Amino acid sequence: MLFLWLFLLSLIIWRLHVSYSHFSKVPYGIPWSPRGRFTPYLVTQIAGIWNIPSVMEKAYQDYGKKGSICVIALPFSRPEVLLPQSLIRWMTTQNDKILSPIPVQHEVVGAEYAFLNSAIRKDFAVYDILRVQLNRHLPRLIPRIAEELASSIDGTFGMDTEWNEVCVYALVRKVIARITVWLVLGGILSTDNELAENLSNFSSSVIPSAIALSLFPRFLQPVTSRLTSVFNHIYMNRALKILGPHIEKRIIAIENGLLEDLPQDDVLTWHIHEALRKKERRFEMADVVACRVFATVFAALESTTLTMTYALFNVCASHPSTQVWQALEEEALSFFPTNVDQTSLNDLNIADSVIKETLRLNTAIKALSVEVMQEDGLTIEDRMIHLPQGARMSVSGWGIHHDEDMYPNAYDFHPFRFVPLHKDEGIQDAQSLATPSENYIPFGIGKHSCPGRQFAAVVAKVFLAYLSVNYDMEEVHKKPCFMSLGHLPVPPSSEISEMPFASSSFILHHTWTVAHHTVQVHLCFLSRLPNMTSLSLADLVSRQLDQNPSKPTVIGIYGLPASGKSFILEALRKELGETEFTFFEGSEVISSLVPGGLDSFQKLQLTEKAKWRVKAINHLRDEVATSGRIAIVTGHLMFWSEVNDAPYAVYTLEDLKTFTHIIYLAPNEKTIASHIESDKKKKYRSYMADLTAKDWNYWQRDEFWTLRDLCRQHKILFISVNQPSLENVLPLVKHFKQLAPAGANLALVKKRLDEIVAMHDTKKLQTFLVFDGDRTLTAEDGGRLLVDEIDENGTGPCDSALRDLYSGPMGYSDEAFHQATLILEEECPDDMFEDRCDTVSAFIPLYTEFLTLLRRITQQKHIGAVVVTCGVGRLWTKILKHHGLSDKVKVIGGGRLSDGYYVTPGVKAAIVSHLRDVHDLYVLAFGDSPLDIPMLCEADKAFVVVGDEESRSSTMDAALSMAIQDGHLRARQILLPSKSSPRLDKDRLPVISLGDKKLVKSITERRKDLPPLKSFDATNKSAAKVLMSPMRDAAVSGPALREAHANVGRYLAIEYVSKIIGLEEYTIPHVQGHKTIGHRLRNEAKTSIVAQMRDGEPMAFGISDVFPQAMFIHASGAEDLEMHHVQGQSNVILVDSVVNSGKSVIEFIKRAARLEPNIDITVVAGVVQSEAVAKGHLFEKVMRRHDAGLIALRLSGNRFTGTKTTDTGNRLFNTTHLA
């Protein structure tokens, strides 16, 4: 009984509370839905907790659809005045100071208590940033969004080989969470799984805590919120442990103008800039920005996750006759092989319709609500109804979206419902699903529409497209239902998916169990998209500098029929002649081989045609290989099928093995139609006159992207020409010819390097500094900024093309760097390129430390400097010019055909070697990324520039560690800015500063002249004559010859090695019983004898007999000499039987010096070619550079090099019969 009285008392108190706070805001005389005042209001609120759609539906049918106004009671909220659809435009065009949705939205999420800073409830920054900054940058971010989504989907859905149980909603949420965190916080923090998990958990706790809070009277909420929001605050505090210091660090960096060290394309950075611009209070700025970040994550994550889950459920439940998944797949296949951008997103009409229908059927916004903000209230003019400040009005989105008069069969899912809009009305809006109207308001409408709807549209469409491309789905007829708790949809959390992997694909077998319904879905992963390739140090170090010289150069001229291929071929023939080139019409080659010619070929079955095409391309390839000329061949990738009314492929695998370059002619459809009309003689083109412009566009686009991807996979250089003419094609052919011979690219680079060196006083020149450009001399990535500038000015998806290039099959191969030049040439004409370089270069500052150093060395005649970049050379020339350095510091870099060459990691290394070995200069190299490691390995001194942790190369640590561990690299690191965290550890990579005067002095000081070569030989000595006789005797081989070599080793060790290295005294027992002084090699126990296998082994054993304490090492190549062989050693003796050019010995010298810089090196050989030790020879230079000593039994002027039966190794080990 006491409990009953307490309940009645509570009910009275509640009635008085809501009567004052809620009913006072509702004008008298407006009818309620349902009718009544007290009990119906309470009953409706309770009913709305479990089924708010029915409340909205009834109010809409009884009043809104009839043009009337009513009052509705919503759960966990105050009453709202429901307006008819005719007043939507009036309501949504009011100024935010009159009507605003933000107070309603903040109440729904409990903003006053959901966040750590209550000021967020009055804050409009989140909406402003999304509306202005996000929508401004979104088109440029689309390729990166697609890449992140693809990576996240692959990683989340997994590739397990066994069946696994998975929760579909959880998988979708994980993917959306990752892309949301990536957008809001940037790339670095998005990989922090702990942070992402806490942000996701916070987001999911917001609405439940707000609902719990609304159960209490407002005057109790400051107290009760501590209980209801406890999980919000737990997850926020956990996230802030990671996020807080990062935000403060970024604020400080922006305050100090260190913009180059920060990512610029994330919501966090935009919020900080805005807060500083508005001069918000500094002491609480980090906390406020953090709250805005949390709010943004919540806004983006929850609605997008629900939308995608609903969409997958709806597609699964569609009737098989709709074939919606197949339709999505077919559409998406023409999307993902392309550059994913705003334009290609337009073509996803089916995906657009599926998601738009999902939002209509399962709209998250049941009612579009606003609150009166104006102090004196607002009057609905045509109804003469006045609403006081704080009153709320809304429009029933649910009712409109389920109105049978607007949407027939409104409660059914029709995936193609909105497709006719695209086909019949020609709508080409990139985000049509995000474009609201008075009949479609899932995102709101007008001033009050969702500011992040464009982002949500991009994510949803790309998500669905990627799934349909990579998974096959078995459709079903039933789907699970989402329950709702007030405003909160509760997804079915018990759905289960099992994932097996079979052959080259894995199958996801989903079982969703909700409300006694079981749904089975089969998803099959298909490897249609190329996998990302990683950059390995081994690939970089051993990268070949040129194409396979055995493969003849074959340039393909491709394009649709009537695109001008034959015309271009004949024009090239007349211009270039047939001395160095040979020209083929692909169809004529086939005609010459097939009995009966082309007419007979056209009558064959497709399989027979394919066989003749293979024979034709093989015949062509053999002829070109025999002639040694460059071939230019017209070809077809696809033809149009009159039966299927679609293009089909006709290329063969042999085509892809043959072509080295392809030029694709891509005129517009008007040009093609004109060519067809003027060339009616070709009968096989007759059907083509019936094709529409849409057919031409579809065919050309399909052919272009297919061919481009095939070229990437087979390392064929590819470029398209939109205006086919001799003027545009001829420079490409000449460029390909120039770089066709083996070694041509490197030769051109070296020629440019020699020109740069010649600009100095070579008699005084001693030192050369070689710098990488981007991220080394500056914190900026100039190439990235240039591509962004090109893309923003509408020249095409250049950024996506380059990103796809290096992450695709070409990886970081030489062909990839050459292809990058072709992409820039294709996407940006010369005049525009110069303009963009001017714009970008003006905003790229050099590090102050490097600027000071460069200005200092330009005043020194004995020092030179060059910037070598794998990026855009022209851009770096302009950057240096802006800093007044271009006269003294030159640039080697590609990016345009006019440069004549391209730069690769291998080319960078060759530049350093050329400066060091040919020009005899002391070389210092500076770089920051794995692409620079080959260059750093070749330098006399190497410096790794280490930037801010967020922007620097994420793969450099692993590459550095490998290079150092393998003994290829010994370097020091320069931290810029100085507060940057160092790479690896200070033992492996010591930290230095460019502000260190000793370092600067060591770089800029004049170097001592290299000492003369320390060389000893016994050529004219009697002992040598005796010892060399059995070595030269053809009758001596096997053990006897090995003993002769050992005797030479003993002699040279005693006579000369002891002289070059020196001796040390030690105490020995005398035969007379007392101690006396003996002598042995200086630091004999710290000496390594390296036998260069196999010829050097016998002589090395002889030396070892004389120096028994020395370590003995067998080495077939320089890489066999490892750190533990020389670390801590004082001497290394390199032994070979014969030194001709000294090439192999040079590698051993460099390797030993790199592993142990202070070690003394001595080379011992039986015979050394006199030319090798002549002044200026590379071997002589390397010996002097490393102050190495040379000992030979004799010097020889005879250039004869033994082979087969005369090879020293074969004679030593009796293997002449195997030669």
Binding site members for heme: 450
Question: Which residues pair with residue 1088 across a beta bridge?
Answer: 1111, 1132
Comparing CA positions, the residue from 912, 612, 862 lying closest to residue 760 is 862
* Amino acid identity for residue 897 in this structure: L
3-state secondary structure of 1174: coil
A 10 A CB-CB count for 1173 gives 19
DSSP H/E element including 867: strand 863-872
Cα angle 355-358-359, degrees, rounded to a multiple of 5: 90
The CA-based dihedral angle spanning residues 416, 419, 423, 424, taken in that order and rounded to the nearest 10 degrees: 90
In the sheet that holds 922-927, the strands lie side by side as 890-894, 863-872, 767-771, 922-927, 941-946, 971-975, 991-992
Residues sharing a CB contact under 8 Å with residue 493, sequence separation 6 or more, in sequence order? 167, 169, 170
CA 772/CA 556 separation, integer angstroms? 35
Place of tokens 């034709």: 616
Cα angle 798-804-810, degrees, rounded to a multiple of 5: 120
Contact 481, 492 (CB under 8 A): yes
Question: Could you tell me which residues are annotated as the binding site?
Answer: 450
Distances (CA, A) of 689 to 125, 675, 683, 692, 724: 57, 10, 11, 8, 21
Contact 319, 477 (CB under 8 A): yes
By CB atoms closer than 10 A (0-12, 13-18, 19+), residue 179 is buried
* Largest separation between any pair of C-alpha atoms in the chain: 133
CA 280/CA 286 separation, integer angstroms? 10
CA 1002/CA 131 separation, integer angstroms? 54
Beta strand residue intervals within 516-672, DSSP E: 517-525, 554-559, 581-585, 630-634, 638-641, 646-649, 661-665
Place of tokens 């056209």: 602
A 10 A CB-CB count for 480 gives 22
Contact 1167, 1138 (CB under 8 A): yes
- DSSP code at position 579: S
Q: SS in 3 state form for 383-436?
A: HCEEECCCCEEEEEHHHHHCCCCCCCCCCCCCCCCCHHHHHHHCCCCCCHHHCC
Cα torsion angle, 284, 289, 290, 294, sign: positive
Q: Under the phi-then-psi rule, with left for phi > 0, alpha for psi from -120 to 50, and beta for the rest, what region is 409?
A: left
- List, as one string, the DSSP characters of 778-832: SSS-HHHHHHHHHHHTTS--HHHHHHHHHHSTTTT-HHHHHHHHHHHHHHS-HHH
* Amino acid identity for residue 385 in this structure: I
3-state secondary structure of 227: helix
Contact 782, 879 (CB under 8 A): yes
- DSSP code at position 286: H
Q: Under the phi-then-psi rule, with left for phi > 0, alpha for psi from -120 to 50, and beta for the rest, what region is 1128?
A: left
Place of tokens 């008007």: 670
- List, as one string, the DSSP characters of 242-260: HHHHHHHHHHHHHHTT-GG
